[in-house]
Amino acid sequence: MKVCIYGAGAIGGNIAVNMAVAKVAEVSVVARGAHLAAIQARGLTLRTGGRDINVKFAAATDDASTLPRQDLVIVGLKAQSTPAAAGAIAGLLAADGCALFLANGIQWWWRHGVAGPQAHLPLLDPEGALWKLVRPERALGGSAYSGNEIPEPGVVVHSMMNDWGLGDPSAAPGAVSPRLQRVVDLFQAAGLKARAVPDVRRELWLKLVRVGSQSAVGALTRLNNQQMGASPEIAALRGRYIAEMLAVAAAQGCDLHADIDMAKATGAAPPHRPSMLQDVLARRPIEVEAQVGQLQAFARETGVATPVIDTILPLLRGLDASLGLA
């Protein structure tokens, strides 16, 4: 089985090393810049559980067109970077191949297979490139509960959790498709604790509600999860934010109120830096639209009031714009 990790950053690098070490597939990686140069020169190192695991891949490149067609493309890009790679991802897929998208928040294929218009989401796929080229029927989605950072090029540090909820938006309601089961089996064979979820949208809503306030508020305050949990004022703000996310999810047909313990969601936590904060500190673009902008768009569609989201969203958009300035 040929597997390409398209975007072998923090999350993608973790997957790539585990799959390559377990020899469950022929693994290639697409990366860029200094990180790619380090991988090409020395391989990719994963620091986890007190040990370093170093791997050199079948191929490591920034040009996906040099790779053969793949059975599975695992996309580790952030949501805002994915549309520009639509052609490259589509070009990698074998005739019966599929692409697994692991970005945080609402995903670009969301409207596929549900009641209502079958169309791309302009905030997440502005020109419809992913919808037209990759095509939603070839997409899998999932949530990654796994704490990873890149402290230096060519090195990924895994600090916490190893839970991967993977689903197929094309499957019949409540069903696990054969292609999804194959991907889950692949993850499990690599030591990654994957589970097949019969409702992938619900899985993504759950993760967004659980960690979205950490990400957004952490990016704005530059506090890690532990520091945010120690502040009663920030906990209260995050509680109001979570309440709005729950209301939006419920209006979209996914009631998660019984699944969320508000005290646990806003309280004490390990000192992990959420992904959006990691990007702010590295002056990289942040996942504003997938994690917050699309929430507001859904709220406007259904008439849900979101005063906290309406305040946080323009601040995050402004922060995102500032990261591109010298």
Residue percentage of the chain with pLDDT more than 70: 100
When pLDDT is averaged across residues 204-211 and rounded to a whole number, the result is 95
Amino acid at residue number 214:
Q
Query: What confidence category does residue 173 fall into, taking pLDDT thresholds of 50, 70 and 90?
Result: confident
Query: What confidence category does residue 116 fall into, taking pLDDT thresholds of 50, 70 and 90?
Result: confident
Per-residue confidence (pLDDT) for residue 117, from 0 to 100: 80
Pair 137, 192 in one domain: yes
Q: Across the chain, what does the average pLDDT equal? A: 96
> Positive or negative, the Cα torsion across 135, 125, 127, 15?
negative
Would residue 56 show up in a list of annotated catalytic residues for this protein? no
Q: Which of 198, 232, 266 is the last residue of a domain?
A: 198
Query: pLDDT tens, 261-288?
Result: 998 889 988 999 999 999 999 999 999 9
**CA 38-98-11 angle, 5° bins:** 35
Pair 13, 143 in one domain: yes
Pair 52, 120 in one domain: yes
What is the radius of gyration, based on Cα positions, of the chain? 19
Strands (E), the chain: 2-6, 26-30, 44-48, 51-55, 59-61, 70-75, 93-101, 139-152, 155-167, 193-196
Question: What distance in Å separates the CA atoms of residue 89 and residue 100, rounded to the nearest whole number?
Answer: 11
Pair 177, 215 in one domain: no
- The residues facing 224 across adjacent strands are none
Question: What domain count does the chain have?
Answer: 2
**For residue 218, what are the domain limits?**
202-321
Would you call 6 helix, strand, or coil by DSSP? strand
Query: What confidence category does residue 326 fall into, taking pLDDT thresholds of 50, 70 and 90?
Result: low
pTM of this prediction? Answer: 0.96
Question: What distance in Å separates the CA atoms of residue 212 and residue 209, rounded to the nearest whole number?
Answer: 6
Question: What distance in Å separates the CA atoms of residue 60 and residue 5, rounded to the nearest whole number?
Answer: 10
Candidate list 2, 193, 207, 264, residue with the active-site label: 207
Task: Find the CATH number of the domain harbouring 211.
Answer: 1.10.1040.10
When pLDDT is averaged across residues 14-26 and rounded to a whole number, the result is 98
Question: What distance in Å separates the CA atoms of residue 245 and residue 306, rounded to the nearest whole number?
Answer: 8
Per-residue confidence (pLDDT) for residue 79, from 0 to 100: 96
Pairing assessment for the beta strands 139-152 and 155-167 based on DSSP bridges: antiparallel
**Residue 324: is its pLDDT beyond 90?**
no
Kindly state the DSSP code that residue 307 receives in the 8-state scheme: H
When pLDDT is averaged across residues 205-209 and rounded to a whole number, the result is 96
Contacts of 310 (CB under 8 A, 6+ apart): 296
Residue in 215, 100, 236 with CA at minimum distance from that of residue 168: 100
Query: pLDDT tens, 29-83?
Result: 999 999 999 999 999 999 999 999 999 999 999 999 999 999 999 999 999 999 9
Per-residue confidence (pLDDT) for residue 289, from 0 to 100: 98
